Amino acid sequence: MQKVWKVVGTARRHGANGTAFENNIDCTLNSWFERNPEWKYLRIFFPVYSKGAVVRAPKGSLGIMCFETQDSAKAFIHKTELQNVSIIPVLGLGHPMKPRVPAYQCFYIKNLYTAFTNLKKPIPANKYIYEGTICFSRVRVLE
């Protein structure tokens, strides 16, 4: 177990992908999924990080992206220009994994982003391994 830091949205506490998505549509993820049931299978990629919850990464994914330090999380926010986010402590559970190649976002999520013609601005693919990135198969949300 390792205390690490997670970037989440301030309103609904989705991770960075979910927050970036909500920042670019005119509704919440939940209401969007209700209106677009053909994409319902992607809901697992947008968990909510509620205090005390254990959040599990989808099978076959790189894991839940966290940061070893708050400064690394802040640098990620600055570099990606994410808005409406905060940094929360989580406890990494399971074996930590440090990415060696950029993830370029989840394949399914990238397809979801490209399916939109009404995004306020394009969501770029992740072309970097952000310093201090560490992934876990599951995390316990501390705050």
Q: For 86-110, what is each residue's pLDDT tens digit? A: 999 999 999 998 876 555 544 445 5
Task: Mean pLDDT check: name the lowest of 38-47, 103-112, 123-132.
Answer: 103-112
How far apart are alpha carbons 41 and 33 in whole angstroms?
9
Q: For 65-77, what is each residue's pLDDT tens digit? A: 999 999 999 998 9
98's tokens: 């440090």
What mean pLDDT do residues 11-38 have? 84
Which run of H or of E encompasses 93?
Answer: strand 85-93
How far apart are alpha carbons 57 and 135 in whole angstroms?
9
Quote the pLDDT of residue 87.
98
Percent residues over pLDDT 70 in the chain? 79
Total domains present in the chain: 1
Q: Which domain holds residue 71?
A: 2-141
Model's pTM, two decimal places? 0.81
35's tokens: 């209106």
Spell out the residues 6+ positions from residue 138 whose beta carbon is closer than 8 angstroms to its own. 54, 55, 56, 57, 64, 93, 94
